[in-house]
Structure 1
Amino acid sequence: MPSTPWYRDGRLHFGAGIENTFVPQERPGERAIDEYALTEHYDRWSDDLDLAVSVDAEFLRWGIPWHVVSPEPGRWDWSWTDRVLDGFAERGLRPIVDLLHYGTPTWVEGEFTHPDYPRFVAEYAHRAAERYRDLATDYTPVNEPMLHALFSGEYAYWPPYRAGIEGLVEVSTAIARGFVLTQEAVAGVLGEAATFVHVDASMRYAGDIDAPEHRDTAHRYAHQAFLVEDLVTGRVGQDHPLLPVLRDNGMADETLAWFAENAVQPDVMGVNYYPRHSTELFEAGVHHVGGFADPRPTRDDGVGGLTEMLRTYAARYGAPVMLAETCVTDDVGTRLDWLDASVAAVEGLRSDGVDVVGYTWWPLFDMYEWTYRHSDLPRSAHLLTMGLHDLVETPDGLARRRNPVADRFAAHASRGAR
């Protein structure tokens, strides 16, 4: 008889994450982003795993750098990931593996819009699952797929630089098809041993959403926040609010039928919530397209927004939920306040019967803002003070310095383990 999955044991599981955004493509005025290189995780991975253990994290959300393991078509180099995943096992630390965290290898021309992208990503997923079948069973096929689609499809901010609603539909469809084939590939290797943690970003919209100039856009955004997850789980049917938009912008009925026939489901639905960023505001008389290039203002809705999002995802997808990323970028005292408040909110939801199974502080150590890509300033100018450990520039590279948030997190995690 198989053992009870970790997310069914009745406990609240505490973990952390290591930022693993990879956008390796470059062009004039745009640098590659590889967070493992920026934070020196490639060299310091062993110490970084020890940091996770030191705060009593049970799991670590961590990604395979696809562009590193597959530097050229048909060539695979697993040497670095072999060492790291062996390191997880040696420490008894559970990896929840991000297979896609924003970027593709540079040889995938057109990135998500390459006609063979779904096949490419499925082959990569199959090879990863086969190679690490004894080391990793928890997979996130795509981290934050709707942010992928917005940045690459509507905002023209990341490759392949599509723009507008038609671009959004094109990229959303491609990412969703790759998502389905990725999950099928991993399941084909691991069978019932596989756990699929789907993860998406909270996207809440408030303010002057009924202003005539915003009404249609705000309505669309409120529904499209769930679009990729709705596609992959077969929920885009004849009654879906976005169906007219999808059809008007290139999605064929045959494509919708394919998603319905090949639907995959989350074992755990991960929700990323950042109180200062997850609620965007529309302003009457002000046109914002959204995204980094023309951001809408945001509002901090605190634990109210957090509990709303966890309840919404639990009800919509009928799966256990976890807080897959949260933090505030601020001083230690402000981070401590949010840690305590967000843990209390999650525990309150559990008391109310919401099946919340995990809490993730993101990240384990500080990271560098994505604005690094469009800047010529040194990485230090883009440091985000978010972590349980500070990144500190030294003559020998980036040191990790434990801060009081790590101690408080460990106290919560220790209590949750009992």
Structure 2
Amino acid sequence: MSQFPDGFLWGAATAAHQVEGGNVNADLWPSEWAPGSHFAEPSGDAVDHYHRYPEDIATLAGLGLNAYRFGVEWARIEPEEGFFSRAALDHYRRMVGTCLEHGVTPIVTYSHFTTPRWFAAAGGWNGTAAVDRFARYAARVTKHLGDLVPWVCTFNEPNVISLMVHLGVVPAAAREDGLGLSDAADGQRAPSGGQSSSGGSWPVPSVEVMAAAHRKAVEAIKSGPGSPAVGWTLALIDLQPADGGEQRSAAVRQAAELDWLEVSRDDDFVGVQTYTRERIGPDGVLPVPDGAATTQTGWEVYPQALGHTVRLAAEHARVPVLVTENGIATADDDARIAYTAAALEGLAGCVADGVDVRGYLHWSLLDNFEWTSGFAMTFGLIAVDRATFARAVKPSARWLGQVARAGRLS
């Protein structure tokens, strides 16, 4: 039996652009519709969570889950620089209130890859005023929501582009596929090596810029109202050296994971987001081992990765850990249960060894828009009919709710 502590957060996660629909002011919207787009299909209405969140949050709570991580959309809140939409802010305050009404802890992400078009046009995260612009936005959101929100994530996976560049390829586990770059609206894809399709250098948000934006945003959030725990979430692939790959693996881990984890040492927690492992040889990422099971995304089914990366995060960040994403893209719901159970076994082992783990949030609550893959990848605990938006709870959701109610795996 694997036991979890009292007060442990059990829940699921979404990202605004992936579920809300109609995010027309976001930097990615034009590239989704551009001729020759690298997106399989546009996000369009997504799964209409913007209007259906009361049903979705009620379903989550009814399953026995007690936490919901969701994003507020910068492109809706500040559609033009300096103009903050009271209507959009009120919408997100209602979402937070709905969580609280159902006994669900809201965990709010301020930036989950997408940015306003005006921000991208001004250079995105490589723009000279990026840090101040994000801090101003964080302050405005906090002014409107801070009194109700106990957990805030400033950024979602700010290190994911660094992972791609330092690995020299787009790793399978980095499902964001280069999104969130300042010129994503051009409809280009970040190929291996950090070079744009036009042959120029692809802009990579540096740890220095993102850390500065994070720190200034944390200061704004901590100014109140409210007193939320604040951190950011990191993409932590379980990097494993193969024969001859020890030096390369160590270098990638330092630049793309450890340097970012060190930023979290001044935070209240660090969010860990893990799906699989990557094996590193002397020439880079190795293919999935022969005979290994894979997901819809082509990643190796390797649930042990979660326990490994949680230990890594705890060791290097030296703050409490919140698992903010973990899951599997599959049409086989029995496989989802098996994967999640194995991942939770590893997480329980961390808890038993004294690692301060505060919760587990499954990716994702809903089958949704998975970036360049469109709607083909099904990570959700709840299926969504593409024509009617009707929800259908999967057995895996009921299973995870039972685990949450019991507080243990048996």
Q: TM-score, normalised by structure 1?
A: 0.75
TM-aligned CA deviation for residue 149 of structure 1: 4.4
Look up the equivalent residue of 1:405 and give its one-letter code.
S
Mean alpha-carbon deviation: is it higher for 37-46 or for 138-147? 37-46
TM-aligned CA deviation for residue 402 of structure 1: 0.7
Give the equivalent residue in structure 1 for 2:313: 313
State how 1:244-283 maps to structure 2 within 5 Å: 265-274=266-275, 278-282=276-280
The answer to whether the 8 A contact 1:97-1:136 is kept is: yes
Give the equivalent residue in structure 1 for 2:217: 182
TM-aligned CA deviation for residue 73 of structure 1: 1.1
TM-aligned CA deviation for residue 227 of structure 1: 5.1
TM-aligned CA deviation for residue 126 of structure 1: 0.5
- Describe the shift of the 1:110–1:30 C-alpha distance in structure 2 as closer, same or farther (beyond 3 A): farther
2-structure distance, mates of 1:66, 1:116: 16
2-structure distance, mates of 1:218, 1:352: 26
2-structure distance, mates of 1:117, 1:281: 35
- Describe the shift of the 1:265–1:30 C-alpha distance in structure 2 as closer, same or farther (beyond 3 A): farther
* Aligned with 1:199 (options 209, 225, 233): 233
State the secondary structure of the residue aligned to 2:81: coil
Give the equivalent residue in structure 2 for 1:13: 9
TM-aligned CA deviation for residue 313 of structure 1: 0.9
The answer to whether the 8 A contact 2:306-2:326 is kept is: no
TM-aligned CA deviation for residue 208 of structure 1: 4.1
* Aligned with 1:160 (options 182, 195, 198): 182
1-structure distance, mates of 2:386, 2:155: 32
- Describe the shift of the 1:173–1:37 C-alpha distance in structure 2 as closer, same or farther (beyond 3 A): farther
State the secondary structure of the residue aligned to 1:408: helix
TM-aligned CA deviation for residue 406 of structure 1: 1.3
Runs of 5+ consecutive residues of structure 2 not aligned to the other structure: 19-25, 171-176, 184-189, 196-200, 287-296
1-structure distance, mates of 2:44, 2:11: 19
Look up the equivalent residue of 1:94 and give its one-letter code.
T
The answer to whether the 8 A contact 1:133-1:190 is kept is: yes
2-structure distance, mates of 1:36, 1:273: 27
Higher relative contact order (CA 8 A, sep 6+): 2
Runs of 5+ consecutive residues of structure 1 not aligned to the other structure: 1-8, 234-263, 289-295, 373-378
- Describe the shift of the 1:410–1:231 C-alpha distance in structure 2 as closer, same or farther (beyond 3 A): closer
Q: TM-score, normalised by structure 2?
A: 0.77
The answer to whether the 8 A contact 2:238-2:308 is kept is: no
- Describe the shift of the 1:37–1:195 C-alpha distance in structure 2 as closer, same or farther (beyond 3 A): farther
1-structure distance, mates of 2:156, 2:225: 20
TM-aligned CA deviation for residue 174 of structure 1: 2.0
- Describe the shift of the 1:34–1:83 C-alpha distance in structure 2 as closer, same or farther (beyond 3 A): farther
Mean alpha-carbon deviation: is it higher for 153-162 or for 63-72? 153-162
Are 2:95 and 1:84 aligned?
yes
State how 1:201-220 maps to structure 2 within 5 Å: 201-206=235-240, 208=242, 210=244, 217-220=248-251
Mean alpha-carbon deviation: is it higher for 54-63 or for 32-41? 32-41
Give the equivalent residue in structure 1 for 2:406: 415
TM-aligned CA deviation for residue 392 of structure 1: 1.6
The answer to whether the 8 A contact 1:112-1:175 is kept is: yes
Give the equivalent residue in structure 1 for 2:154: 141
Are 2:144 and 1:131 aligned?
yes
2-structure distance, mates of 1:36, 1:147: 25
The answer to whether the 8 A contact 1:149-1:168 is kept is: no
TM-aligned CA deviation for residue 388 of structure 1: 1.4
- Describe the shift of the 1:175–1:285 C-alpha distance in structure 2 as closer, same or farther (beyond 3 A): closer
Look up the equivalent residue of 1:139 and give its one-letter code.
V
TM-aligned CA deviation for residue 137 of structure 1: 2.9
Query: Cα RMSD over matched residues?
Result: 3.2
TM-aligned CA deviation for residue 287 of structure 1: 8.0
TM-aligned CA deviation for residue 301 of structure 1: 3.4
- Describe the shift of the 1:286–1:71 C-alpha distance in structure 2 as closer, same or farther (beyond 3 A): closer
Deviations 1:178-233 (A, max 9, x none): 11111111011247x2201431111233354625xxx7643321212325534634
2-structure distance, mates of 1:34, 1:389: 21
Are 2:47 and 1:56 aligned?
no
- Describe the shift of the 1:285–1:63 C-alpha distance in structure 2 as closer, same or farther (beyond 3 A): closer
TM-aligned CA deviation for residue 412 of structure 1: 0.7
The answer to whether the 8 A contact 1:13-1:416 is kept is: no
Are 2:302 and 1:301 aligned?
yes
Give the equivalent residue in structure 2 for 1:222: 253
The answer to whether the 8 A contact 2:147-2:225 is kept is: no
- Describe the shift of the 1:282–1:348 C-alpha distance in structure 2 as closer, same or farther (beyond 3 A): closer
Mean alpha-carbon deviation: is it higher for 122-131 or for 215-224? 215-224
How many residues were matched structurally? 355
The answer to whether the 8 A contact 2:15-2:112 is kept is: no
State the secondary structure of the residue aligned to 2:389: strand
Are 2:126 and 1:110 aligned?
no
Look up the equivalent residue of 2:150 and give its one-letter code.
T
- Describe the shift of the 1:336–1:231 C-alpha distance in structure 2 as closer, same or farther (beyond 3 A): closer
The answer to whether the 8 A contact 2:146-2:228 is kept is: no
Look up the equivalent residue of 1:173 and give its one-letter code.
E
State the secondary structure of the residue aligned to 2:338: helix
2-structure distance, mates of 1:334, 1:103: 31
Give the equivalent residue in structure 1 for 2:187: none
1-structure distance, mates of 2:159, 2:214: 12
Look up the equivalent residue of 2:27 and give its one-letter code.
P
Look up the equivalent residue of 2:65 and give its one-letter code.
A
State the secondary structure of the residue aligned to 2:392: strand
State the secondary structure of the residue aligned to 1:307: helix
